[in-house]
Amino acid sequence: MTGPTFEAEVDEPPAFVFDLDGTLIDSVYQHVVAWHDALRQLGVNLPVWRIHRRIGMSGGLFVEALARETGMAVDDAVSRRISRAHVEAFERLRASIAPLPGAEALLQALERAGVRWAIATSGSSEVAYPALELLGVPDATLVTRNEVRHAKPDPDLFLVAAARLHVPAARCVVVGDSVWDLLAARRARALGIGLLSGGYGRDELERAGAYRIYEDPADLLSHLDEIGVRQVP
Amino acid sequence: MTGPTFEAEVDEPPAFVFDLDGTLIDSVYQHVVAWHDALRQLGVNLPVWRIHRRIGMSGGLFVEALARETGMAVDDAVSRRISRAHVEAFERLRASIAPLPGAEALLQALERAGVRWAIATSGSSEVAYPALELLGVPDATLVTRNEVRHAKPDPDLFLVAAARLHVPAARCVVVGDSVWDLLAARRARALGIGLLSGGYGRDELERAGAYRIYEDPADLLSHLDEIGVRQVP
């Protein structure tokens, strides 16, 4: 009996694709408050928790969800005005933003272990680059909203990141703080790891398909053996 | 056979004790960001999601939890400085605060139905009174942090509120958005109702003992029959 042969890929550590806001950088609540401000400027009063639960999804889908939840007519011009107002409001809060505990140490440990990693964010390059500076990794492999047609929960961001790392998406571990990261991870056939550091509840992340949940990057770093990374130097 | 007699109290609607921030007023995220700012001024960088999960508990316990989580020495003077910085940071965000959807309508419906209600908050009077103005109920029965020895998750706030309403606490329904409200409700032997509008996950509130969960005051208003209030005019 003959047939295709499959080579077992044993002992290959996974590659890591990280979300940025709420996963490596402590910026989710500032983004939430900035979106709330931006919407108020257009006379829309969407309760803040609903904005929080939409953070991390693509801006386009965010605005569509917004239109559905508020009954507001959102054309391209309004959408651009909201996005611009959000960037401005976020700028005012930027001084309060820091890396999450363990974020730098985690990326350094992966480097030392020879594990490939990238960052994939639904945010724009304009917002993402200063965050890389904060993390001390200005040259990290980065995929932003500007480079894909559809952002999370579509899998495009993670698929492009995997391709840049020259690793099949199915061998990637996707680390994110939001339901949208985990849904997109499943669509990319990657393993999704949830972090509580974006303010979602554990249960919400589990239900979205998280393989494992940690508090923050520091907690993930001390449990890397649970997801296939051994002997971190 | 004789023994004590118990009178059945049928058809008595419950009294309602409401938390304020995140339950009637859309202010949780602003409080979170304000606490984060206040702590940064003292050189403490506590991740924002951890502050979110402590909001609604007594200031004293909040500061103790903070000391535990950061290893920081927090004496009375430091504690007062943090509280003052929080009030100042919160003032700057106050313009963005509005009632949650359905909050005014819910309180008016209870009034019309002759159901007693009060507000009990772990916050100070200084922060609570402007919120009552926003809700259009400046003369509401209000119990604040200033009036009890221990705030949530101790039951004192709810016990004092029940006493002011001349209703046993065990006949009260406590409505809150945080785990601390629900834990305090159980200690007061009241029935706890959770609202998602403060940004906790459904599961977190259920595990803390919520009898029922609604999205926000509007959602609670349209399900009042589920918790013993019938024929709202």
Report yes or no: B192 and B225 within 8 Å, Cβ to Cβ. no
pLDDT of amino acid A158: 97
pLDDT of amino acid A127: 85
The candidate with the shortest Cα–Cα distance to B48, out of A27, A135, A134, A52, is A27
- CB-based contact (8 Å) between A93 and chain B? yes
Which residues form the domain of A198?
15-26+98-227
Summarize pLDDT for A51-91 with one digit per residue, the tens. 999 887 776 677 777 777 777 777 888 888 888 898 898 88
Same structural domain, B123 and B137: yes
Same structural domain, A156 and A73: no
Q: Evaluate whether residue B2 is within a structural domain.
A: no
Q: Which of A29, A47, A201 sits opposite B216 (nearest CB)?
A: A47
Same structural domain, A91 and A104: no
- CB-based contact (8 Å) between A201 and chain B? yes
Q: Evaluate whether residue B3 is within a structural domain.
A: no
Residues of B in contact with A201 (CB under 8 A): 200-204
pLDDT of amino acid B110: 96
Q: Evaluate whether residue A148 is within a structural domain.
A: yes
Which residues in chain A come in under a pLDDT of 50? Answer: none
Same structural domain, B86 and B139: no
Q: Evaluate whether residue A92 is within a structural domain.
A: yes
Same structural domain, A111 and A54: no
Same structural domain, A102 and A92: no
Q: Which residue has the higher pLDDT, B8 or B132?
A: B132
Summarize pLDDT for B9-54 with one digit per residue, the tens. 556 789 999 999 999 999 999 999 999 999 898 888 889 999 999 8
Confidence at B55, pLDDT banded by 50, 70, 90: confident
Number of domains within chain B: 2
**CATH assignment at residue A137:** 3.40.50.1000
Side chain identity at A71, as an amino acid letter?
Answer: G
With b meaning 16 or more CB within 10 Å and e meaning fewer, what string describes B61-85? bbbebbbeeeeeebeeebbeebbeb
Q: Which of A30, A45, A201 sits opposite B203 (nearest CB)?
A: A201
Q: Which of B93, B98, B201 sits opposite A45 (nearest CB)?
A: B98
Task: Determine whether the interchain pair B49/A197 forms a contact, defined as Cβ–Cβ distance below 8 Å.
Answer: yes
Which residue in chain B has the smallest CA separation from A201? B201
Same structural domain, B63 and B145: no
Same structural domain, A39 and A52: yes
* Percentage of chain B lying above the pLDDT 90 cut: 63
DSSP chain A: ----------SPPPEEEE--BTTTBS-HHHHHHHHHHHHHHTT----HHHHHHHTTS-HHHHHHHHHHHH-----HHHHHHHHHHHHHHHHHHGGG--BPTTHHHHHHHHHHTT--EEEE-SS-HHHHHHHHHHHT-TTS-EE-GGG-SS-TTSSHHHHHHHHHTTS-GGGEEEEESSHHHHHHHHHTTPEEEEEGGGS--HHHHHHTT-SEEESSHHHHHTTGGGGT-----
Q: Evaluate whether residue A3 is within a structural domain.
A: no
Confidence at B218, pLDDT banded by 50, 70, 90: very high
Structure ipTM over 0.90, yes or no: no
**CATH assignment at residue A79:** 1.10.150.240
Enumerate residues 29 to 68 of chain B having a beta carbon within 8 A of any beta carbon in chain A.
29-30, 32-33, 36-37, 40, 45, 47-49, 52
Q: Evaluate whether residue A233 is within a structural domain.
A: no
Same structural domain, B182 and B82: no
Best of B23, B29, B90 to disrupt the A interface by mutation (most A CBs within 10 Å)?
B29
Same structural domain, B149 and B222: yes
pLDDT of amino acid A11: 62
Q: How many CB pairs under 8 A join A and B?
A: 79
Evaluate if residue B72 carries a pLDDT over 80: no
Same structural domain, A63 and A151: no
CA distance A138 to chain B (A): 23
Same structural domain, A51 and A122: no
